[in-house]
Amino acid sequence: NSSENSAYTKDFGFNTTFIFQGLFQSQQAPFAIMYKRYKSDSKALRLGVDVTYFANNNKVDPDVANVNFSDNSNGYIDLTIGVEQQRNLGGKWIWYYGGDLVPKYSFGKTINYINNEKDRTSKSSGYGLGAKPFIGIRYNIAPRLYLSAEASAQLTYLIQKAFQETHSPEETLQDLTTNSLTFDINAASG
């Protein structure tokens, strides 16, 4: 950390991606917040959360006959727990790196209607754990304000459960549990 920031022991920030995606009329964007507590001038503990929720209700006037539509909702919650090391590049520029553990939870539900009658319901949920090394750069605008961009890779193990049923007649079509291991690379954002 530069000497102008050494008196501060905590950071609280948010990811601005949801603002920029809103400008381009994206229908969903994550909201992420991050809290950092400095253990020294160059080392911080990180705690954060990413939350996304999306709902789409296509219901129409119930008096209209023979209409097909669906109700959808899904989302996820990712926690972030990690350590960050920082190195001053000179002036107001700092680069940083480290690693996070990322516990995850996701959920989803879709109800399909045919001729205004509930036809099929699909539900899903998942939980898992990710390991995420990261590297970033930041620019200190003022002693208590900075902008940063962070790139990362993430290896994640997930357990997902899916359940699907019809309503007339009442029948379970699918009841699955799957395990997966994924690897993602995330371009710099912040």
Amino acid 122: pLDDT: 94
Q: Is pLDDT at 26 greater than 50 in this prediction?
A: no
Q: Considering only 6-10, 27-31, 60-64, 141-145, which range has the smallest mean pLDDT?
A: 27-31
Give the mean model confidence (pLDDT) for residues 49-63.
Answer: 78
What's the one-letter identity of residue 122?
S
Most confident of 28-42, 45-59, 64-78, 94-108: 94-108
Rounded to whole angstroms, how far apart are CA atoms 15 and 18?
A: 7
DSSP string for residues in 87-112: EEEETTEEEEEEEEEEEEEEEEEEEE
Q: Any idea which residue has 């920029």 for tokens?
A: 20
Q: At 21, is the pLDDT very low, low, confident or very high (cuts 50, 70, 90)?
A: low
CB 135 within 8 A of CB 119: no
Counting Cα atoms < 13 Å in the Cβ hemisphere of 47 gives 4
Which are the contacts of 55, defined by CB distance < 8 A and separation ≥ 6?
Answer: 72, 73
Query: What pTM was estimated for this model as a whole?
Result: 0.75
Rounded to whole angstroms, how far apart are CA atoms 64 and 112?
A: 16
* Greater pLDDT, 157 or 61: 157
* Greater pLDDT, 152 or 169: 152
Q: What is the DSSP letter of 26?
A: -
Rounded to whole angstroms, how far apart are CA atoms 104 and 107?
A: 10
Amino acid 27: pLDDT: 44
